[in-house]
Amino acid sequence: MKFTELGLDQDLLKAIDRAGFEEATPIQAATIPLVLAGKDVIGQAQTGTGKTAAFGLPLLQHIDFSDRSVQALVISPTRELAIQTQEELYRLGRDKHARVQAVYGGSDIRRQIRGLADHPQIVVGTPGRLLDHINRHTLKLANLRTLVLDEADEMLDMGFIDDIESIVQNAPEGRQTLLFSATMPKPIMNIANKFMHNPETVQIKSKELTADNIDQYYVRAKDFEKFDIMTRIFDVQVLNWP
């Protein structure tokens, strides 16, 4: 399906064209119209299938750029994903002059406070640092319209469930909530049941990512053995390289 068929405005279509995207991925094609319609959405798809644009494009279309308050919050499991998401949203929202701020641990919090004081409409961050800013009152969610939980299963694995619940409880009741995850374990579904309103579920089946002409092998090893085994494999492969 082409992006022109999904109800996106001209500024976003220009950004999509500039990025070299031609057709929407399955998760994008299924999700974007639902998000534009204001529905809560649970999206299940593999990492690398275009989930950032799936929520980012309709999120950008919904932003009121005359309003200087935080209107969208994206919770990411890692600083690397937070930075990547910030960059993608900035790139897609360039023609709209979107203001996007990333906040994450391991970085100067004073610089982040100054960035939040500069009135971004979209904030992307890791759970612990977002909660820190909320508790400091440097991040205010009173006018939040859209909350995104990105890679929710990774955040579960990293032990962020309590932080996520605390953040969601600070968000307005009438917000739109989007949850994206590669898998849907029970604790993630519990969050969906607790904090989402009649969500639409989009499931994209996993595809085989390995080409037919590639053989795969694995070596069972204990943690303390992994480095030595890996270096021996490298030695053997390099010595036998054609």
- A 10 A CB-CB count for 9 gives 13
**pLDDT score at 240:** 57
Cα–Cα distance, 40 to 198 (Å, whole number): 7
Are the C-beta atoms of 181 and 210 separated by less than 8 Å?
no
Are the C-beta atoms of 65 and 115 separated by less than 8 Å?
no
Does the pLDDT at position 140 exceed 90? yes
What average pLDDT does the chain have?
91
Can you tell me whether residue 185 is helix, strand or coil?
coil
Question: Measured in Å, how far apart are the chain's first and last C-alpha atoms?
Answer: 43
Q: What is the CATH number of domain 3-207?
A: 3.40.50.300
Q: Which two tokens stand for residue 173?
A: 């009741």
* pTM metric for this prediction: 0.84
Q: Scan for tokens 């996993």, then name that residue.
A: 206
Are the C-beta atoms of 204 and 27 separated by less than 8 Å?
yes
Q: How confident is the model at residue 242 (pLDDT cuts 50, 70, 90)?
A: low
Q: Determine if residue 118 is left, alpha or beta; phi over 0 gives left, psi from -120 to 50 gives alpha, anything else beta.
A: alpha
Percentage with pLDDT > 90 across the chain: 75
Q: Which two tokens stand for residue 101?
A: 């701020």
DSSP 139: S
SS3 assignment for 4-24: HHCCCCHHHHHHHHHHCCCEC
Residues in the chain, overall count: 242
Cα–Cα distance, 69 to 218 (Å, whole number): 50
29-53, pLDDT tens digit by residue? Answer: 999 999 999 999 999 988 778 999 9
Q: Which two tokens stand for residue 164?
A: 């996520």
Cα–Cα distance, 39 to 176 (Å, whole number): 7
Does the pLDDT at position 74 exceed 80? yes
96-127, pLDDT tens digit by residue? Answer: 999 999 999 999 999 999 999 999 999 999 99
**pLDDT score at 124:** 98
**pLDDT score at 233:** 81
Are the C-beta atoms of 107 and 180 separated by less than 8 Å?
no
